[in-house]
Amino acid sequence: MTGRGSRTARGRAAGCALALLLLSACTVPGAPGDGSADRGIRRTLDRRAAAVLGHDESGYLSVVDPRAKGLRTAQRAEFRNLAAVPLSSWEYRVGDVERQGSTATARVELRYRITGYDSAPVAAGRTLKLVERDGRWYIDDDSPDGGTGQQLWQQGPVRTARGKHSLVLGVGGSGSLLRQVAAVADRAVPAVDAAWHRKWAGRVVVLVPASLDSMGALLGSPAATYRGIAAVTTGEAGGAGAAPADRVIVNPEAYALLGSLGRQVVITHETTHVATRTATSTATPLWLSEGFADWVAYRDTGSTPRETAPELQRAVRGGRLPAALPTDADFGFSDGADRLARAYEGGWLACRMIAGQWGEQKLTDFYRAVGADGQRDGAVEKAMNDVLGTDPAAFTARWRDYLRAQLD
């Protein structure tokens, strides 16, 4: 995950064969270094990429150091774990290469796409250690860059479930769970279409790891960060018109505790983030991005504010009416569940107020206008003036009155 806002999360809800298509296989040069080493390493990775797309296990293993028995065993398992993943491309971009005699360390970016779902590649930083033997370079170690998580197939054999609008990839879970998630995602996509009023891919890829710990490993973060969080969305913030390759990652432990409405709300919320990614930028405050996703998720459920915003209702009835809209810091996972819930609820009610008092089209126009600014300072103020005909002070006062009316 790269970029601010590339991770979004939602922990409460309803109150809280290788079937690979050989299309491309290449390495793309990065910064120049030792020419002979760079060229040799690129040839090695070219062969590896071609083997993935060509379903060639022996070719995949031929670039691994024959003396690295443990790595060869792990690489064989990873290759076989990939069997169910429908890849349309797989390539390596070689960055810095540091050579010391017959060994080298290369910073590499793995880029791949899933057939029918990714219009842009997923990128994952890798650090490769290589050794030269008889004029050929072999991979001696392959590990994620710092802060980069595992890939799903590094956790076990990947199973798939296909829906009309979704592809669910899972490790360790039952086929029935994956099919159930696909059914929920298939309902989420048209719900997002109806609310967003803008063209997007109209499909979603959902990853279901085996456990909370496995979820943390995919995200490259401590598992405790996501305890109680039912799902997160990863991807790169848009703004340049490109459609990024987002993934919704489900925490199977928290997801299992939800009822049918809660599961639908969670997946619809995350699918909204996928749809709105290209319209979301550093200018978009979290109260708007998370509030909008909640507004879409709850839009057709019939849930009332008193049912859906219990923490904020307690605050209002206790004489603790918020003085301002939630800040980005209020959405921190480590600052208490109550505070986090109030932040989500406050953002949702702000977006619900805009949709109810200005109209749904104005809400989506406002969202796009904020994100189009590209920088935080002044973006919300300008969009409020241009789209809603108001200013932050007046909007906040109106929001506070709305909270009293809806929750007191």
Residues 331/198/120/374 CA torsion (nearest 10 deg): -50
- The residue out of 147, 170, 188 marking a domain boundary is 147
Q: Is 378 a domain residue?
A: yes
| Number of domains, the chain | 2
Type of residue at 385: N
Q: Is 12 in a helix, a strand, or coil?
A: coil
Model pLDDT, residue 148: 82
- Chain-centroid distance of CA 381 in Å reads 28
CB atoms within 10 A of CB 258: 18
Q: Is 9 a domain residue?
A: no
Q: Is 321 a domain residue?
A: yes
Q: Is 154 a domain residue?
A: no
Beta strand pairing status for 204-208 and 231-234? unpaired
Model pLDDT, residue 225: 84
- Residue 148: C-alpha distances to residues 108, 110, 219, 398 (Å): 12, 11, 7, 42
Model pLDDT, residue 24: 35
- CATH number for the domain that contains residue 114: 3.10.450.50
CA distance 164 to 380: 37
Q: Is 70 a domain residue?
A: yes
CA distance 63 to 53: 15
CA distance 35 to 46: 16
286: domain range?
281-408
Model pLDDT, residue 237: 53
Chunked into runs of 10 residues, the chain (408 residues) has average pLDDT values of 35 33 38 67 96 96 95 96 95 94 95 92 93 95 86 96 97 93 98 94 96 94 88 69 78 96 97 95 96 97 95 96 96 79 97 98 97 92 98 98 96
Predicted TM-score of the model (pTM): 0.87
Model pLDDT, residue 337: 80
Closest-CA residue to 349 (of 282, 283, 303):
303
- The residue out of 147, 182, 208 marking a domain boundary is 147
Q: Is 312 in a helix, a strand, or coil?
A: helix
Q: Give me the residue label for tokens 């910064």.
A: 31
Model pLDDT, residue 13: 37
Spatial contact of 47 and 60, defined as CB atoms under 8 Å apart: no
Q: Is 183 a domain residue?
A: no
Q: Is 266 a domain residue?
A: no
DSSP H or E stretch at residue 181: helix 175-196
Model pLDDT, residue 327: 95
- The residue out of 95, 124, 147 marking a domain boundary is 147
Type of residue at 148: T
At 382, list the tokens: 């300008």
Q: Is 390 a domain residue?
A: yes
